[in-house]
Amino acid sequence: MGVVNVTPDSFSDGGRLADAAAAIAHGQALWAAGADLLDVGGEATNPRAAPVSAETEWARIEAVVTGLAATTDALISVDTTKAAVARAAIVAGADVINDVSGGRFDPAIVDVAAEAGVGYVLGHLRGASLAEVFAAEAPIGFDDVRAELAAAVAALPSALVARTFIDPGLGFGKGADPATNLALVARAGELAAAIGRPVVIGASRKRFLAATLTAAGVAVDPAALDRATVGVSLAAIAAGAHVVRVHDVVGLRAALVGYAAAASVAPGD
């Protein structure tokens, strides 16, 4: 899943693709590089970003969703927590709604996805807004995430369950210790087996990766974050994740080719 952020304030690439033509070209390049899904977002979900209205969010991404749906064969995912944006995106050609809130911010989004017959990524977090999510200090462990995601899936309309992916929500209120997020990566397959739904892992360029690099004495810059993302994404796949969400599709694709080639060789060959 390649990231196409059409926002002025995303934590790692805000403003770079604010122009629709640039965002469409970027999405086309990600698709050509091997992305199966293109995840288009019009509202940043980092602690410093200001909330925006559904109208503003949709105005940012409308041309991008329409353009990528018309010019690529990728599945188009829209990263939103708002039912109104999801509804408009589906009409414009979106195949998947990627909701980091799992329906907590706008419960109607679940019904929109269910009624439209599209895919749904159900993200894990606690709180009714991003401000609440990032203000929380209580640690959230694997057992908590598993139980809360299981309950959220059980509450979905029955028609939507078979089209739902689960996302443990790396970086969303998981505390300051990178180990909490890394444990969720390492146990991705266990999470999928426990709930019976495929897992999406989105570690790309997140703060816990920067903290992990710093703790190891590695200088943090965009290139280092992308390399760390590749490493964690490969670990997620090895652990049983079904989809990995990344900014650097080129780097991950090359790593996946090497990983798959090595993994396919039988011992002794």
Question: Given 87, 126, 187, 206, which residue is catalytic?
Answer: 206
Question: Given 126, 174, 205, 245, which residue is catalytic?
Answer: 245
Active site residue 206: yes
Distance, in Å, from the CA atom of 226 to the CA atom of 205, rounded to the nearest integer, reads 6
Active site residue 146: no
Q: Catalogue the active-site residues.
A: 206, 245
